[in-house]
Structure 1
Amino acid sequence: MPTSPRIGLSTASVYPESSAHAFTYAARLGYDAVEVMVGIDALSQQTSAVKQLSEHHGLPISAIHSPCLLFTQRVWGSEPWGKLQRSAEMAHAVGAEVVVVHPPFRWQKEYARDFVNGIAALEESTGIAFAVENMYPWRASSRRAMEMYLPGWDPSEEPYANTTIDLSHAAIAQSDPILMAERLGPRLRHIHLTDGTANAKDEHLVPGRGVMNAAEFLRHLVGIGFAGEVVLEINTRKCNDRAERERDLRESLEFAREHLGVLST
């Protein structure tokens, strides 16, 4: 009998609270694992601290999200391949099998030039799956969009061995995540479960509060026997207090459990 995917919580989901708070929420609410977003939170950059949090709460780390966002361009230095190598080292140390990475920005021309082959080489040398995430055109309006990623925002168009689908990013791109999953087939390794609407904002809504048919998407994953990780990556910055943030995190977990067919314990 196939096992259901683990349901993890991204540390980004509790920002502006810290990575330590993310582990506390995840343990209290019953998440199966945690994905660590390496970011401006100094603790998230320290392998020893991340490992201690995992051991203290008894929660495995499902993935390391490399610091490749605009606001983390200087985290772990500015050389992108070095940042990915360091992400793999952290993943090894904490027992994670996946590093989530975004495609290069267009201005990172040297990095982008051999990105596809470079990712394959890193996977071969480290034994870690580098799951390249779907991104989106940057939209100034509903009619104007700029391609800001090289070799492109859609990982299904490149021969990556491992990929990530993020539903909020798919919303901005006005891309059907089920069709993308079908194009990717067994190369789909990782999910950022969230939601969004068809506008220019990367909303990262609680799943079910947007237009991406997140429930149908999860049922599709069950139907194809998806065996990777499902990680809640939502935006709780506008929550008025910790109680509201916890309600959003609980609602997200319950949504995932319901539509993946996982019974609450």
Structure 2
Amino acid sequence: MKPLEFCILLFVIISCQEQNHGLREVVKSDTLYAYDVNNILRLKGPIVNSMKNGKFDAFDSLGNIHSNANYVNDTLSGYYKEYYPSGIVKSDAYYVNGLPYGEELVFYDGYQDSMAVQIEGKWFIAPYATNLKEYNYRDLRGKIMYQRSYDEKGDLISKRGRIFLAQFFNKITLHPNEPFEQAWLIPAPSRTKQIDVEQHFVIYGPNTKDTVYIHPDSLVTRWNDSLSDIGTYKYEAVAYLIENGNTELDTSTFIVEIKNY
């Protein structure tokens, strides 16, 4: 691995820390180990074909776990988790092709609750995460679509954006009686303590009015229909977002063209 690539890796994984230029790299059995000037392990993960592939663990200067990251061919891909020095989870995120995508949960530090766990005859205190500090939802470009911030009591202090409906097809062309499908990306946030969201949408067509309910664990909602007469038909889909008792609407339209080829 080139020195420049390694520095970039540390900057990504150990954000919020100063870069440490005194790291010593050791590769054993296709595993990279990186140590600082005090011989403290700061980074560990598998190398396949000279590239980062798999789970990498990063540590702070005291040897405490700082983050877990997953890589595919040197690119962040999959779940990413950061920790406070206390061991409490600081944030949970997910990456696709090097960019954050979907939900990011950021928590406050502190012991809101805990439980005793026995491991190999020894007892440990396992803390639960505290109240949610921030909720972000990003699109595939890494852009935040929806954001909510909370104080330590769990009360909302700021918000921007909203979860909106994004359809896959603006126009569909096909034969008479040929079934067609439309799909929408309608993110459904995790049911955390502070976020309670329900979504459904109603599709208005030439001879139809269908209500489609969104599964809370699915990002993609599908709907299908068929038309027998040649012509051009306009459909409208109205999404209903109900967040903590408040309702917002989002509307999209698409065209279905039925013709003989």
The bucket for the TM-score relative to the shorter chain is under 0.3
Q: Which has the higher strand share?
A: 2
Higher relative contact order (CA 8 A, sep 6+): 1
Q: TM-score, normalised by structure 2?
A: 0.27
Q: Which has the higher helix share?
A: 1
